[in-house]
């Protein structure tokens, strides 16, 4: 059951490991399979070598309906994001730069216009023990109006319409955290004002920023 979704979760796990954003068993991913069902990485699995048959399928109550392994301890966080934000996929990592800032700042301000793809400044959810309802609620609140957030003294979480989008959000978040960290080392980072951010949004809409287009202006397939 759900072979394609389980294979996609496993492939995304291996990609994030190859990118250096997850190490060992630290991190978890999930993807929507069907209404009320989700493919989730198992607890304790090595993400760099994860295979489709190791990925389990759970319902909205976190009950395993397919697969022989228990889901990640952060399954409640994943399910909360699906319920509250209608996500298509969720990624949680302990990526180096994201985790570094999650241990030292209360927010990553919007210092580069590409951060607007994530919703702007990145909030840091207060620390709570992993796998607890308190952590899930704190992260859900930090994600309001965003597609990524940091988890205090813990890591990062991103979501998207599908696994590709969630992985790209994770990569962008790690890059943005690295930019801000380096900017702080070299001086006082300049933060984009609300007016500057709005101008970027309007320009992106007008120019269909991010879409591949043919020379005649039509979007390429």
Q: What is the dihedral of CA 72, 73, 79, 80, to 10 degrees?
A: -150
Determine contact, residues 148/175, Cβ cutoff 8 Å. Answer: no
Contacts for 129 with CB less than 8 Å, ≥ 6 apart: 135
Q: How many CB atoms lie within 10 A of CB 44?
A: 11
| Diameter of the chain measured on Cα atoms | 54
Question: Active site residue: 74, 134, 195, 206, which one?
Answer: 74
Query: Is 74 considered catalytic here?
Result: yes
Question: What is the Cα–Cα distance from 182 to 81, expressed in whole angstroms?
Answer: 31
Determine contact, residues 10/55, Cβ cutoff 8 Å. Answer: yes
Cα dihedral sign for 64, 90, 86, 152? positive
The residues carrying an active-site annotation are 74
């Amino acid at each position: 059951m759900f072979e394609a979704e389980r294979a996609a979760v496993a492939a995304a796990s291996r990609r994030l490991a190859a990118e250096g954003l997850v190490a060992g068993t630290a991190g978890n991913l999930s993807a929507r399979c069907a209404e009320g069902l989700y493919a989730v990485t198992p607890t304790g699995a090595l993400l760099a070598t994860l295979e489709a048959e190791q990925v389990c399928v759970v319902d909205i109550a976190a009950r395993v309906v397919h697969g022989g392994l228990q889901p990640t301890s952060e399954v409640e966080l994943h399910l909360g994001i699906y319920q509250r934000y209608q996500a298509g996929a969720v990624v949680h990592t302990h990526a180096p730069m994201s985790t570094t800032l999650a241990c030292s700042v209360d927010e990553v301000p919007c210092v580069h216009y590409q951060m607007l793809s994530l919703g702007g400044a990145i909030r840091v959810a207060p620390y709570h023990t992993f796998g607890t309802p308190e952590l899930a609620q704190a992260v859900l609140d930090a994600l309001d109006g965003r597609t990524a957030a940091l988890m205090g003294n813990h890591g990062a979480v991103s979501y998207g319409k599908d696994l590709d989008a969630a992985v790209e959000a994770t990569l962008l978040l790690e890059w943005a955290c690295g930019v801000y960290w380096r900017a702080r080392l070299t001086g006082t980072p300049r933060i984009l004002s609300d007016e500057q951010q709005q101008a970027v949004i309007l320009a992106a809409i007008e120019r269909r920023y991010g879409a591949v287009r043919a020379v005649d202006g039509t979007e390429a397939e």
